[in-house]
Amino acid sequence: MNTSEFSSEEIVKYLFTGDALASRPATWRVALHTGNPGLDGAANEATYSGYGRVSTTFTADQPSGAGTAWRVRNDADVTFAATDAAVTITHVTVFDANTNGNCLVVLELPIARSVASGGVFSIPANELVITGD
């Protein structure tokens, strides 16, 4: 899992200390990045006209049964507004808010995806996979 700075702190505190934790997220928002967003997800978020983070929900499962890591996958397509200029997406993050908020995970795309002007970036259902390993 490519945990963010925020998530790694929360996981370590939850599992190994009695320290206070942040509130559980009520929403999950997927963001696009045109370069490495860093561990806090703050850098290189897409800025094209009409862009905004897209709400999604996840389902958890243990794909190979006992003895394997758990994962979550997006329940439905995550579709962003059409671009107003060509853009190349290199990373996807998940936040707990529509603007600002806490970055929960940082995922680098295996291959950067170019989107032509007027094109739409979409992540099909079950394709945004976050594993617990």
Q: Are 102 and 96 in contact (CB under 8 A)?
A: yes
Separation CA 124–CA 82 (nearest Å): 16
Instruction: State yes or no: pLDDT of 1 exceeds 80.
Output: no
Average pLDDT score over the chain: 94
What's 96's DSSP letter? Answer: S
Assign residue 126 a region: left if phi > 0, alpha if psi is -120 to 50, beta otherwise? Answer: left
Q: Are 107 and 90 in contact (CB under 8 A)?
A: no
Domain containing 90 equals 5-131
DSSP β-bridge partners for residue 32: 92
CA distances from 51 to 18, 36, 82, 119 (A): 39, 18, 8, 12
Number of domains the chain is built from: 1
pLDDT in the model for residue 104 = 96
pLDDT tens digits, one per residue of 44-92: 999 999 999 999 999 999 988 788 889 999 999 999 999 999 999 999 9
Residue closest to 104 by CA, chosen among 78, 127, 130, 81 = 130
Q: Which residue has better confidence, 132 or 59? A: 59
Looking at the whole model, is its pTM more than 0.75?
yes
